Amino acid sequence: MSMSAKIPVAVLGATGAVGQRFVQLLQNHPFFEIVALTASDRSEGKRYIDAVRWVIEGDAPAAVQDMILLPTDAQTVMRYATIAAAFSALPNEAAQVAEPAFAQAGVLVFSNASFYRMHSDVPLVIPEVNADHLRLLTHQRRARGWSGGIICNTNCTVSGPAMTLRPLYDTFGVKRVFAVSLQAQSGAGYPGVPSLDITDNVLPFIKGEEEKLEAEARKLLGALREENGEPRGVVEAPLSVSAHCNRVPVIDGHLVTLSIELETPARVEEVMHVLQTYRRAEVAGLPTAPHQPIVVRNESDRPQPRRDRMAGHGMSTVVGRVRPEPLFGACGVKCVTLAHNTIRGAAGGSILNAEVWFKVFNA
């Protein structure tokens, strides 16, 4: 990749909450340059600044305010702009149709939608967890006859737990995980959660979330299944996850409590050391990669969403309260994990996937 010329990209579904994060985080990105923004029919043809209700702090970046919104249609977009990659913040139904069309047209889609995540030939990737799954793309392209492709990031709730479990899984093995989430409002997009539902309240249910957390964790921690030296799919990790998902009155940052049964005994200090020192070479030096994938805190009352969600510019997972889980004896460990749901768990995660792909796998 030549650094002098940036890779031209589109943001699909650029007016929603995650679309806005893509736009914000891609501002002045050293690798990528936004050349197209798409939106639903309702907003097509409008200037971005006129169509968007900017829900993030501050303002939409000046560079995109006057861009005219295109329809989320591969043919139309390609007619107006040459793009090598697209960041998709599309809702699921739109993603189901549009993402393959872009992939067919030669565009690499870095998707935040859930539709294709569990398809066997689609890489579901958090780079520090399973960057090697990106190698599935070769198979995907051949199987589907695409010159582009689809690479998914994870559900916003699973990103913190998956990052936390990766080094524990590799070092001690993990059998069972009881996870309880306290999720932020922004996870539901905009307008999302009505204030009358969440003020002075907790919603103890988020549709589809517990199933996604349980399934995606197993795929993320799984190993590539190879045939004739080529990855053909993922063998899910043999751990069991059970989740309770709750919505709480917090703007950003999904907190998850974990009670973990390891395969082999581990002391609290060992667990903390393994988490704190975890690094992955694939992401070293990438612009969106945090210095530390996992920040371990020693205070008794951290992590907290408001105070810790911006650790590593919103890309670090913050773990605290590492302590024994008595119900699993010597193999038990409890902790609390936090990740920024619209940065690491959504737009930032996809951008890091793209950085790894273009810089490392397809350099």
Instruction: Write down the catalytic residue from 254, 331, 335, 340.
Output: 254
- Say whether residue 300 binds a second copy (CB under 8 A): yes
Measured from the CB atom, is 139 or 334 closer to a second copy? Answer: 334
- Say whether residue 65 binds a second copy (CB under 8 A): no
Measured from the CB atom, is 240 or 276 closer to a second copy? Answer: 240
- Say whether residue 17 binds a second copy (CB under 8 A): yes
Residue 133 annotated in active site: no
CB of 77 to a second copy, least distance (A): 28
Measured from the CB atom, is 51 or 98 closer to a second copy? Answer: 51
CB of 167 to a second copy, least distance (A): 21
**Count of residues interacting with a second copy (CB under 8 A):** 56
Measured from the CB atom, is 21 or 133 closer to a second copy? Answer: 21
**Residue 303's closest CA among 265, 344, 244, 331?**
344
Measured from the CB atom, is 104 or 246 closer to a second copy? Answer: 246
Measured from the CB atom, is 56 or 118 closer to a second copy? Answer: 56
Q: Could you give the CA distance from residue 352 to residue 289 in angstroms, rounded to a whole number? A: 7
Q: Are strands 85-88 and 7-12 parallel, antiparallel or unpaired?
A: parallel
**Residue 120's closest CA among 259, 231, 281?**
231
Q: Which of 222, 320, 345, 348 binds a second copy (CB under 8 A)?
A: 320
Written as one letter, the residue type at 218 is R
For tokens 């990031």, name the residue: 153
As given in the structure block, the two tokens for residue 132 are: 């090697």
Q: Which of 4, 28, 41, 58 binds a second copy (CB under 8 A)?
A: 58
Q: Could you give the CA distance from residue 204 to residue 182 in angstroms, rounded to a whole number? A: 9
**Residue 84's closest CA among 132, 133, 40, 34?**
34
- Say whether residue 46 binds a second copy (CB under 8 A): no
Q: Could you give the CA distance from residue 90 to residue 169 in angstroms, rounded to a whole number? A: 32
- Say whether residue 250 binds a second copy (CB under 8 A): yes
- Say whether residue 279 binds a second copy (CB under 8 A): no
Which run of H or of E encompasses 86? strand 85-88
Q: Could you give the CA distance from residue 309 to residue 205 in angstroms, rounded to a whole number? A: 22
As given in the structure block, the two tokens for residue 201 are: 């309240």
- Say whether residue 138 binds a second copy (CB under 8 A): no
- Say whether residue 255 binds a second copy (CB under 8 A): yes
Q: Which of residues 163-182 bind a second copy (CB under 8 A)?
A: 176, 178, 180, 182
Q: Which of residues 208-247 bind a second copy (CB under 8 A)?
A: 240, 242, 244, 246
Measured from the CB atom, is 15 or 140 closer to a second copy? Answer: 15
Alpha helix segments (H runs only) across 243-283? 268-276
Is residue 266 a contact partner of residue 333, using CB atoms and an 8 Å limit? yes
- Say whether residue 197 binds a second copy (CB under 8 A): yes
At residue 114's C-alpha, the angle toward residues 307 and 275, to 5°, is 40
**Residue 288's closest CA among 318, 309, 250, 315?**
315
Instruction: Write down the catalytic residue from 156, 245, 331, 335.
Output: 156
As given in the structure block, the two tokens for residue 34 are: 């936004």
Written as one letter, the residue type at 196 is L
Q: Which stretch binds a second copy (CB under 8 A): 92-100, 122-130, 296-304, 346-354?
A: 296-304
**Residue 55's closest CA among 342, 307, 315?**
342
Residue 156 annotated in active site: yes
Q: What are the catalytic residues?
A: 156, 254
Q: Which stretches of the chain bind a second copy, using CB under 8 A?
A: 17, 54-55, 57-58, 176, 178, 180, 182, 185-186, 190-205, 207, 240, 242, 244, 246, 248-251, 255, 257, 259, 300-307, 310-311, 320-321, 325-327, 334, 336
